[in-house]
Each structure stands twice: as structure tokens, then as C-alpha cells.
Structure 1
């Protein structure tokens, strides 16, 4: 049985200074999509020469993972576990905060000097209780390291999981499938193996159609049950598609921490204030 759309949710505009930001989840009528907790869509916008760049200086996380899609522009990452990178357009960074990490996500010096287009999506993925205190991890992959699978008018950029016999660039700790798809008008892509999985679908550029239901640009779709889904672009489109096993545990989120209880949140703040997350230096480049 194929999945259909049960509800469509617009991303709410919530700019951060001069950074254009839309957030489809959490929002009215949708706290989370199972294991998919949060999505910020920054841009698209053009930065002028001599700009201040992205505003995400050092800040902590515990208990979940962040996956950042750099659709346009570039992003400099530094964290307290010693990882540094500059990921450019078409690349992805996947960070497992686990037991605690401090990271900074800023614009490289060249981008601040010269300006240019910028569009970034950041998705938060829940971790089960058994992994919330796992060792922090970071993987940064440039565009040429991510399999790009052609599918009759569409290109599936396979970040994690398996599709059409290919494996994604990054191995998820919890078996999450993640991709983004660029599609020409009328192109269709079918994903299967979805029974019992939480499914995430967000139209970042252009509109898409699922079983006769339109999902406009900047909208999140929630889907019914089924084994597969077919997504058709009604014009030039780019969408994020993922699925994950449900995590049947309480979600207690406060600021930068996602745990299973209020006591664990209090402990996260205490550990951070005690310096147990280390220090992140901002990378230049």
C-alpha cells in the first residue's frame, strides 16, 4: 500500500537577525515527526560583501544528532571534540551530540568578505535513551562524496541508508535514511521499505505531489501508513525525504538539549556549566 498525505504544515517565518529562517517543525499541529524533531530552513538569500555571516557561535548540545544540508554557500564547523571543516554547496555535515558537545557553525572568512548565495537546512534527529550519552561524533562530506543517483528526471542525493542498491555517504547509528532530491517538472521518485517507519518529507524548493495532494514550497507533509510513497515534482523542485524507526520514549526538550526526563535536562545544564562539554574554537578560513 502506498502512503498518502494526511496533513500539510507551513513553515513559520522566524528570522534570526538578518538570517532568513523558516521552521516547519515544531509548529502548530506538529510537535515532531517521530524521530525527526526540528528543522530550520535558512535562506535562500544573498549576502553582500563585508557581511557578518551566520550567527551560530559556540553553543552546546546533548542527546540528539544534527544533520546540516548546505544547499548553497558554505559552512565552517568547529567543535569541542576537535573536529574542524568547511563544507561547501551540496555537502552535508552530521554531528552526533551524544553525551555533550559544544560546536560553532559560522561563515568562513572568504564568504564574509565576498558574500554570495546561502541556503542551509538543519535537521535534528532524536537518539534513543541507550545512545543519548554516546561518544560525540562528527562527519563532514563534500558534494562529490555523496552518491547522486539519477532517476528519470530526478537526482537522489543519498546521505544515509540504502536506495537502488547504493549506500549513503554516512552510516547512521540508528538506521536513519536521509536524502534530498532535485527533480525536474513531472519527474517521480518512489521510496519503499517504509512500513512501521517515521517518514519525513519537506518541500524546500518548488511544489511536489503525493497521491494527488499538493505539498507547496516551504511546507512539511505528514503521511499515513503504507509500504511506499511516490513523490512527483509539479515544477522544478528540491525536497528532503527521510525515514527512521520510531523511538517510543518520552521526549523532554529544553533549549539545546533533548533527553527523556526533566531531571536529565537539569543534569545536562549542570554538566555544561561545569565545563564537561569542553570548548569549541571558531574556525577561520
Structure 2
């Protein structure tokens, strides 16, 4: 069996394999912010308010009118895992929870039976640009978990395990563990009802950085998992006899080790792996179900309940410009990142 089963070019939404539904990758060079945490109004001319997905002046507004991002919208039947590697995201939801996270933080949210939430990208700096690098993974839930109570958890960057490795020539490799384990490092536990909460589902989410000229053997994994490597930033790598340019994904044989040889610039990867759920998937916009009948039930529930309604003043909700990183949960508990020396 070959070690690389398929090579694909990356688009705006990255195609994934069961148990993942897809991955959205956002890279925006946002300008300086104004007092309302959005770009200067001069940047908004020529755009389509509320539906701006064409990169102009280096960034998009997405569904935001004044602040870029995604105002209040529903989800049900799956999980979102949001990695903000650079910049910030402001979260608000129908449970009354809210938060600001970024610069390496991760939010793990199990939507379950349904939640409304917003994800806005506040331009907190008025004296410098506000670049954003963000991944959002959609992880499916099995039928037995599709109606669990919604819940979110913060993984602060300071607490996320990182495995650091040097190759034979002293070149560095860094593996940030969002889910799963590597060597003696184990990721933070996800939300209680997550598909990743059970080790037998073998969910692995790694952010890998390789120095220029670094070589590293990506370890073999459990048989029957679906395993993909996304090479999203760098120049090129050598692997299994292929020369692969950046912005490509690799579908891998999970039972085989894979030697990665990086070229002359730093390379960045995202690895996704997990046992397939192997259930029917019916997706309609922000909802995921196992059948058309169940989908209609979800839509009906949302139309009648709005998943509890929206307790915030506006759907495009952002927090005070002087607010640092925090999470306020539905029970009122407030959490801040762990300070480390």
C-alpha cells in the first residue's frame, strides 16, 4: 500500500474525511481598527454588506456589517473546534455565555441539540494592523449524541501541550496537540459529550511546524482511521517520492510512517485523524442530522424556539475594546488564561 493515498489542492473550505465534516481556513490582513473594533468605513465601500467573501484590500468582512465575522447564527448536530492562531475572536451565544480568545487559543464547542452563537473578529489594535489566522473544524457527532446539551470549553494557548523535536541536524519540529497524544504529551480533554472524548475514537488534531530543512517521521496510527495532513503554508516538501507544494492536502495510509522533508522555508501543517462514524450525514446549512426526517425536526425546533433566543443586544456582538482574553460560561463562571512565568 502507498503511504500517500491522494493529494488534493486546498480551497476556501478544506475537504475532510469522516468523522470531520470540513475545515474552514481564514487568513485576513485586517487593517487598523476604529473605536467600534471594525475597519475604517473607507474600507467598506465597494463591498456587499453582510455577504463579503471576496478578499479585497487583503481581507473579507464575511457576514459582518461593521465588524468582520459571523453574527448570531444557529448550529445543531455536530461540534466546532476553532483555532485562532493569530488575532482574536469574540464569542457570544444563546446560553448567555461569551468570551474573547486568540493568539493560539482554541474553543471547543459541542452544539448538540442546538445553539445560537456569534464569532466576530474584533480589530482591537488602533495603532497597527490586525492580522487573523483561524481554522474552524466541523466534527460530526454520532446519532446517539446529536441531542446532547450544548457546551463549550476553552483551551488557553498557555495550557495546550506542545511536543518539541529536533532532527539529526538540529532543525526543529513543533507539534501542538489540540486533540490526541504524541510521545509523552496528551491533549486537554474536550467537552464531555464530544466524539473525541472517547479514546477509542482516536481523534487527533495537531498543528505542526517544521523549520527550514527539517526532516521528521510522521508516526503511524491506528488501522481503519481516516488520516489527513494539510500543508497550508511554506514552499514545498518531499514525501513518499512526491514533491508537494504548499496549499495541498494529503490523504494518508494510517498504518504507515511518513518521512517529511521540508524545503528552505518554515512549513505549517494541520493533521486531522479519527475513526469514521459511518452513519448517514444530512447537512443543511448550519445543521447536521442522520436523515431528512430528523433534519426537518431540527429546523422545526429552531423555528419555534430559536434555541433559547438571543440574550445579547445585537447579533454582531463584540466585547469592550480594552477587554483581554476571557470566557464567561452560562453558569456565570468567568475564566482567564493561566499566567505562566
Shorter-chain-normalised TM-score: which range? Answer: 0.7 to 0.9
The 5 A counterparts of 1:55-94 are 55-94=69-108
> By how many angstroms is 1:209 displaced?
3.5
Q: 1:189 to 1:138 in 2, by over 3 A?
A: farther
Aligned-partner Cα distance in 2 for 1:177–1:213? 24
Measured in 1, the distance between the counterparts of 2:93 and 2:219 equals 34
After TM superposition, the score normalised by the length of structure 1 is: 0.86
Q: How does 1:108-147 map to 2 (within 5 A)?
A: 108=122, 110-111=124-125, 115-147=129-161
- Confirm whether residue 159 of structure 1 aligns to residue 178 of structure 2: yes
Residues 1:233 and 2:233 are matched in the alignment: no
Q: Secondary structure at the match of 1:45?
A: strand
Given that residues 68 and 122 in structure 2 are in contact (C-alpha distance below 8 angstroms), is that contact kept between their aligned partners in structure 1? no
Distance 1:164 1:250, change over 3 A: same
User: 1:105 Cα deviation (Å)?
Assistant: 0.4
Structure 2 counterpart of 1:197: 225
Q: 1:113 to 1:140 in 2, by over 3 A?
A: farther
- Distance in 2 separating the partners of 1:5 and 1:124: 24
Indicate conservation of the 8 Å contact 1:194/1:228, yes or no: no
Match in the other structure for 1:8? 7
1:257 corresponds to: 287
Over 3 Å counting, the alpha-carbon distance change for 1:53 and 1:224 in structure 2 is same
Contact (CA 8 Å) 2:162, 2:185: kept in 1 or not? no
Matched, 1:41 2:28: no
Q: Distance in 2 between matches of 1:186 and 1:174?
A: 37
Separation in 1, partners of 2:238, 2:157: 27
- Distance 1:106-1:154 versus aligned 2 partners, 3 A rule: same
The corresponding residue for 1:19 is none
Are residues 1:212 and 2:241 paired? yes
Q: State the shift of 1:150 in Å.
A: 0.4
* Aligned partners of 1:147 and 1:157 also within 8 Å: yes
Structure 2: distance between partners of 1:48 and 1:111: 6
CA distance in 2, matches of 1:41, 1:247: 24
Higher strand share: 1
Asked if 2 retains the 8 angstrom alpha-carbon contact of 1:63 and 1:257, the reply is yes
Which consecutive unaligned segments of at least 5 residues does structure 2 have? 40-65, 167-171, 191-195, 321-341
Indicate conservation of the 8 Å contact 2:162/2:176, yes or no: yes
| Contact 2:231-2:247 within 8 A present in 1 as well | yes
Deviations along 1:81-113, one digit per CA (max 9) or x if unpaired, are 333221121111111111111110002362588
**Could you state the TM-score of these two structures normalised by the residue count of structure 2?**
0.73
Distance 1:123-1:264 versus aligned 2 partners, 3 A rule: same
Partners in 1 of 2:275 and 2:102 — Cα distance? 30
Contact 1:209–1:231 under 8 Å retained in 2 = yes
In terms of mean alpha carbon deviation, does 181-190 or 125-134 score higher?
181-190
Q: 1:236 to 1:6 in 2, by over 3 A?
A: same
Residues matched between the structures, number: 269
